[in-house]
Structure 1
Amino acid sequence: MTDAELAVEVAGAVATVVIRNPGRRNAMTPAMWRQLPVLLDGLEADPAVRVLVLTGADGTFCAGADLGDLDELLAAGDGSIAVAAEERLANFVKPTVAAVRGACVGGGCQLAVACDLRIAADDARFGVPPARLGLVYPTPTTRRLVRLVGPAAAKHLLFTGELVDADRALRIGLADELLPGADLAARIAGLTGAIAERSQLSVVAAKEIVDGRADDDRVAWWHGQVRASGEAREGVAAFHERRPPRFRWTPPAGR
């Protein structure tokens, strides 16, 4: 019996996945890595959910991965369950926000980087420790980190394995916003609320295009969705009538 779990809380249009592993500073166990893609599949398919928040319980985001069976870990390489979970999170259709308090290290940093945005409390600490363990950071994970913070900052994190504080994380782009811990929950609620009110068509298309997953045919499909859905007409009408827009578009099943 274990208390380690990923708990899901849904409030309105916002789903929150909470990493919980008491006594291990919310380290991700093999079962939790396997559970995450399943949870994400369900939340992605739920039309009521417009934004996903990933956070940790009790003031810690995630202190890393439970290394478990070392031989199994070494044999898996880039095909590990952690990389599979990370890729599923990175490819989640809807916007994702990491709300980071305390330690965000190893597997925790891997998950935070896979989110679209990272909002950090001033007590957050980020680290990428494979060099301390004699491991090679997975290729997809490394490339995602480089795209986020640039080659030099990524090398610093990877070469040293040192923890960086929230101020440095903000400077290098590892965190998008930094604020006092007491203000984090309110900021996350405000940010996700604003995203949830926007046109999902605009937001989901923007995410896909920014992430480089939309070729010319797909971009043309998105413009076709704008014409067919009436989202733009509703948005313009709401602007002129000085009222909140009533956006109704939802991602088609399987997209």
Structure 2
Amino acid sequence: MKVPGDIHVDMVDGIATLRLVNPARRNAISTAMWHKVAAFAEDVRGRRDVRVVILRGDGESIFSAGADISDFATARSGEGQARAYDDLVEATCRKIEAIPQPTIGLIFGGCMGAGASVAASCDLRVAAEDSFFAVPAAKLGLGYDPRGIARFIRVFGAGTTRQVLFTADRLPATRAYALGAVHTVAPTAEVEAATFTLARQIAGNAPLTITAAKAAISAITSDNSNLLARAEALYAAADASADYAEGRNAFAEKRPPVFTGS
């Protein structure tokens, strides 16, 4: 059962889908929801039955209006509370980024503020052609966490990040696609199917290979030597895996491989 101001998780054929559920506030993310998203990201890390993770808003009208501003009077009222709240948002986004399985943001409608940070934390983004990204912090007078800005720069580029933050205008998904920040754009009626087609394609590939590749990409783009050491270990493990033997045998036998993640 979906509970407003909550998250809902579906699991089908190795694809876990997390929905942000807060229809009364256009799927805005409350403090409680941040904690639940973070807990989900921690839990899914150890799930061998999960090959791909999709993050989306509930319904087909909006991904998320951002952080739930109704929380701000109590959760983000003073400087200390504001920093603690921003730490929670950043920690949650980093936990999404640390999910070893590939993650896909499914974007309907507006993807705004902290919702855009969640989408930017995913590996890939599939968007409806009439959807958009926006960061309206300049219209609210609040400071935007430099760590979140760094994430936008990695995904959208510095120039576009300047435009979005300075103007508080919308960035259409079609423009984000031209920048490489969105990987597929589809008509609204087809975007969910397009997302699951992509997810199933990924889920059918060797999970150890993908985990090692994701770790290597993260290490290289962050210039983190600790992550690079982990990526090298995962790369070696993939080469020594039963899945690698299965891939070779399937190729020789001209049949589809069946990968088990071992």
Contact 2:28 2:64 in 1 (8 A): yes
Residue matched to 1:253: none
Q: Match of 2:64, SS?
A: coil
Instruction: State how far apart, in whole Å, the 2-side matches of 1:163 and 1:14 are.
Output: 30
Structure 2 segments unaligned to the other structure (5+ residues): none
Equivalent position amino acid for 1:138 in 2: D
Cα 1:19–1:231 shift into 2, 3 Å: same
> 1:61 corresponds to which residue?
63
Q: Distance in 2 between matches of 1:14 and 1:33?
A: 21
What SS class does the counterpart of residue 216 from structure 2 fall into? helix
CA positional deviation for 1:43 = 2.0
User: In percent, how many aligned pairs have the same letter?
Assistant: 31
- Residue of structure 2 in register with 1:191 after alignment: 198
Per the alignment, residue 160 of structure 2 pairs with 153
Post-superposition offset of 1:194: 0.8
* Range moving further from structure 2, 160-169 or 88-97: 160-169
Provide the rounded CA distance (Å) in 1 between the counterparts of 2:136 and 2:30: 17
Structure 1 unmatched ranges of 5 or more: 251-255
Q: Which of 109, 115, 119 is 2:122 aligned to?
A: 115
When residues 202 and 3 of structure 1 are mapped into structure 2, their CA distance, relative to the original with a 3 A threshold, is same
1:234 equivalent among 219, 225, 246: 246
Q: Distance in 2 between matches of 1:90 and 1:218?
A: 15
Change (3 A) 1:4 1:220: closer
Consecutive aligned runs of 4 or more in structure 1 exceeding 6 Å deviation: none
1:164-194 deviations in whole A, cap 9, x for unaligned? 2222121223311111011112111111101
| Structure 1 residue 226 displacement after superposition | 2.6
Instruction: Give the aligned partner of residue 186 of structure 2.
Output: 179
Number of residue-to-residue matches in the alignment? 249
The one-letter amino acid of 2:36's match is Q
Q: For the residues of structure 2 that align with 1:22 and 1:116, how far apart are their CA atoms? A: 26
Write the letter of the residue equivalent to 1:236. Answer: R
Query: Normalising by structure 1, what TM-score?
Result: 0.91
